[in-house]
């Protein structure tokens, strides 16, 4: 199984905690944000690889990842094998892997059918029922990619917002989130600016304001690898300045242009000890979205590089 053992040293993912204090380049004494890390290799990694990888090899990888000390592992996607044949055997993987106590296992499900399939494996799969309820309004910045990725338009995504807010209010939600995908640019329509993203965020935030539900979190996805460190920094600065109550930041950064890890570093330098930064990556930097229009010139932030950087910076990821 050379694509696992011949390239990636899983032992490098072992972590040790240490002091998160630092002196920033701005000369201000402050702390790094709290960091959580999510391993996406079994989903993002596999979905663009050969669909014929044997189930037993996928199970070996999942079991090996479980032994590294990672606290959150995405096991795959409950989606149609017609569109993502690499996930056709997700049920077999779930039935055969060995869950490790203390590890949170999650999966992607894009519709009710997918959620029903995932539910039969809970536990060990965490389907969100016992998690903090924080409804989020999201949409793709690029309509072309939205249609390719989820078979829905940007307008359809936005049309869901009213129902999401209504449901959240009825269920007594005490906090909410806002978010975009394809945040920094699209291989189909080009680059997006801070102003483009802020326009979407303003519309989302206004709906939560009207419902009197505080917005505490923001997520930015970058499946087509348009992130740049200075632009990630400027976006986070603008969000923090506009909405000081937002303290939870999620960055899903792809690495097709080699900028994912340095963009994550920029985020670490921008946020402070009052914030939480949630990062995603894949073991060996493998995989990526098959609908981005860049073929196999893709990949995500390599987990072992990210964890090594965080540990060397004295940041404990749990």
- pLDDT tens digits, residue range 150-176? 888 999 999 999 999 999 999 999 999
Mean pLDDT of 249-256: 95
Q: How far apart are CA 86 and CA 77, in angstroms?
A: 9
Share of the chain above pLDDT 90, in %: 62
User: Is there a single domain that holds both residue 73 and residue 166?
Assistant: no
Distance CA 68, CA 45 (A): 17
Single residue among 79, 112, 131 that ends a domain in this structure: 131
Q: Among 87, 115, 131, identify where a domain stops.
A: 131
Do both 120 and 154 map to the same domain?
A: no
145 and 70 within one domain: no
Q: Are residues 196 and 240 in the same domain?
A: yes
For the stretch 106-151, pLDDT in tens is 988 877 788 888 888 888 887 775 567 899 999 999 999 999 888 8
Considering only residues 24 and 218, tell me which one the structure prediction assigns the higher pLDDT.
Answer: 218
The mean of the pLDDT values for the chain is 86
- 83 and 40 together in one domain: yes
| Residue 284, pLDDT above cutoff 60 | yes
Whether 23 maps to a domain, the answer reads no
Claim to verify: residue 149 and residue 289 sit in the same structural domain: yes
Residues of the chain with pLDDT > 70, as a percent, come to 88
Residue with tokens 């189909």: 188
Are residues 106 and 244 both part of a single domain?
no
Judged by average pLDDT, the poorest of 131-145, 182-196, 219-233, 267-281 is 131-145
In a domain, 82, yes or no: yes
Task: Name which of 44-58, 239-253, 257-271, 301-315 the model is least confident about.
Answer: 44-58
Among candidate residues 97, 131, 165, the one where a domain is terminated: 131
Residues 6+ apart with CB under 8 A from 120: none
| pTM recorded for the entire structure | 0.85
Cα–Cα distance between 224 and 100 in angstroms, integer?
Answer: 33
Q: Please give the structure tokens belonging to residue 221.
A: 């996805």
The pLDDT score that the predictor gives to residue 26 is 38
d(CA 246, CA 175): 10
Q: 20 in a domain, yes or no?
A: no
Q: Which residue range is the domain that position 60 belongs to?
A: 32-131
For the chain, how many structural domains are there in total?
A: 2
State yes or no: pLDDT of 2 exceeds 60.
no
**Crossing angle of the two packed helices 260-270 and 229-242, in degrees rounded to 10:** 30
pLDDT score, position 59: 94
């Amino acid at each position: 199984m050379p694509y696992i053992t011949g390239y990636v040293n899983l032992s490098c993912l072992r972590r040790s905690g240490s002091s998160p204090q630092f002196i920033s380049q701005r000369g201000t004494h402050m702390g790094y944000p709290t960091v959580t890390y999510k391993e996406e290799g079994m989903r993002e990694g596999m979905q663009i690889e050969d669909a014929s990888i044997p189930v037993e090899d996928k199970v070996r990888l999942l079991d090996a990842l479980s032994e590294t000390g990672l606290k959150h592992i995405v096991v795959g996607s409950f989606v149609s094998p017609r569109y993502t044949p690499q996930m056709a055997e997700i049920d077999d993987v779930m039935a055969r892997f060995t869950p490790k106590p203390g590890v949170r296992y999650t999966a992607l499900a894009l519709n009710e059918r997918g959620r029903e399939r995932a539910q039969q494996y809970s536990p060990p799969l965490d389907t969100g029922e016992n998690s903090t309820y924080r409804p989020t309004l999201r949409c793709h910045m690029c309509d072309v990619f939205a249609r390719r990725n989820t078979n829905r338009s940007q307008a359809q995504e936005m049309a869901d917002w009213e129902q999401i807010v209504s449901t959240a209010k009825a269920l007594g939600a005490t906090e909410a989130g806002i978010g975009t995908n394809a945040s920094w640019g699209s291989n189909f329509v080009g680059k997006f600016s801070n102003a483009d993203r802020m326009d979407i965020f303003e519309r989302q935030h206004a709906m939560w304001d009207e419902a009197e539900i505080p917005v505490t979190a923001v997520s930015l996805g970058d499946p087509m690898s348009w992130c740049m460190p200075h632009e990630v920094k400027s976006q986070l600065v603008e969000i923090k300045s506009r909405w000081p109550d937002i303290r939870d930041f999620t960055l899903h950064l792809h690495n097709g242009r080699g900028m994912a890890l340095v963009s994550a570093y920029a985020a670490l330098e921008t946020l402070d000890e009052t914030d939480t930064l949630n990062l995603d990556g894949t073991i060996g930097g493998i995989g990526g979205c098959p609908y981005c229009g860049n073929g196999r010139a893709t990949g995500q932030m390599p987990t072992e590089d990210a964890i090594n950087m965080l540990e060397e910076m004295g940041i404990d990821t749990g």
